[in-house]
Structure 1
Amino acid sequence: MPQQLKHVSVIIIEDHSIFIEGLCSILQEADGITVLETFTRGEAALDFLKSRRADIVLLDISLPEMSGIKVCSAIKELDQSIKIIALTNHTEKSVVMEMLQNGADAYLLKNTSRKDLVAAIFQVQENRFLMNNELQKILFSAETKVKGIPRLTQREQEVLKLVGEGATTAAIAKQLFISTQTVETHRHNLMRKFQVGNSASLVKKAGEYGML
């Protein structure tokens, strides 16, 4: 390992504690890697990075409150030199594209091997963009029926935002000066566009797309 790549500092942003423990176990055994801190929420990680610096961020996409896509963009705004490795189960082309467009330096799936994960950290630190063959095929494949992020009307965006904030149908109707039946119509249209079956899944998927 080249001299300049020793002592790479890493933080982990992941909302599953058992996965964090596994990552820490792997990285603590790897020469030249120091895990500075772990976080289950993006906001806390951003607060940390305002006063301390990390070389690499291992970032999940599905996070509570603030999606990994938004966290990725915010980190790059804070410090462009911090390298971000998306570490996720998402293989949807639209999600991969969104993450890359918001500054991710690499995209790994959570089923990656211990060896490949450690290698990826040093490769990204060397400014080498990383994506395995499976993801490259997805990224450069022909468009499927679902083409990226759903297009929403202005009113649908307003309803989605309020649903994401936990507002009830009655509260949304009162705030937007529309009937509860109209709110439910917009809600059903949103679920159809996002291809989900309930409001919880709608909020989750919209968050993954960075739309909340």
Structure 2
Amino acid sequence: MTPTRVLLVDDHPMVVAGLQALLAPLPGLTVVATAASAAEAYAAVAAHQPDVVLLDINLPDQSGLDVCRRLVDEYPGLKVLALTTLNEKSYVTRMMAQGAAGYVLKNASPEELAEAIARVQAGKKYFSEEVQELLLQPEPVVAAVPPLTRREKEILGFIAQGLTSQDIADRLFLSALTVETHRRNLLAKFEVNNTASLIRLAAQHQLL
């Protein structure tokens, strides 16, 4: 049986050497090349035509996310397997959106790496157990944006700039008492009890 041709893409020489040592004894696999950057990865894929690319996300010249998308677009039969320390749901979902066939953490055993490579080479998806648990976690519930009046939005912007109620009152030709009323209404609508929390939530809702 023809061995699966693997390209290792990682900018840490010790990681690459370790991966080569781990994969060397495994039957049915051969490491055809290594690359320490996106540019080297593109050249290596063109020159060696690997079946599977083990790709780190953090590269010195370009994000692994972008590298994954370009490789998948240019080589439809190529399988890209993320191999990273980044155990975060956002990275997993973004890599998959870019066309990755799987996501494996760098603490994987040689056996797991072999299984991951075999699975993606067979056209299936593969995720480390820890990554599977991440994907099963429910999405956090984001509260709806409270309805704000035009004046409240205006005052919220000034609060975010660090202006005092008197400063805002002077700019808007209002009384400081009126501004304080608007400030209390904003705190109530966002269900917070201090200005820092108010600004943080407003920024999350892209109101600033």
TM-score where L is the length of structure 1: 0.64
Alignment of 1:1-212 (within 5 A): 3=1, 6-144=2-140
- Give the CA deviation at 1:144: 3.8
CA RMSD of aligned residues (A): 2.1
State the alpha-carbon separation in 1 of the partners of residues 33 and 99 from structure 2. 21
Which letter maps to 2:83?
L
- Give the CA deviation at 1:145: 8.0
The secondary structure found in structure 1 opposite 2:33 is: strand
Task: Determine what percentage of the aligned residue pairs are the same residue.
Answer: 34
Q: Deviations over 1:20-76 (max 9, x none)?
A: 001001111111211111011011111222343110000000111201101100101
Residue 38 to residue 140, structure 1, CA distance change in 2 (3 Å): same
Q: Deviations over 1:79-122 (max 9, x none)?
A: 01101110001111111110000011010000011111112111
State the alpha-carbon separation in 2 of the partners of residues 43 and 100 from structure 1. 21
State the alpha-carbon separation in 1 of the partners of residues 23 and 117 from structure 2. 10
Q: Which has the larger radius of gyration?
A: 2
- Give the CA deviation at 1:140: 2.8
Residue 47 to residue 137, structure 1, CA distance change in 2 (3 Å): same
State the alpha-carbon separation in 2 of the partners of residues 85 and 117 from structure 1. 10
Give the gaps of 5 or more residues in structure 2. 143-202, 204-208
C-alpha contact 1:10 1:33 (8 A) present in aligned 2: yes
- Give the CA deviation at 1:133: 3.0
The secondary structure found in structure 2 opposite 1:80 is: coil
C-alpha contact 1:50 1:78 (8 A) present in aligned 2: no
Which letter maps to 1:124?
V
Q: Deviations over 1:155-181 (max 9, x none)?
A: xxxxxxxxxxxxxxxxxxxxxxxxxxx
State the alpha-carbon separation in 2 of the partners of residues 112 and 8 from structure 1. 19
The secondary structure found in structure 1 opposite 2:17 is: helix
State the alpha-carbon separation in 1 of the partners of residues 32 and 47 from structure 2. 13
Aligned residues: 145
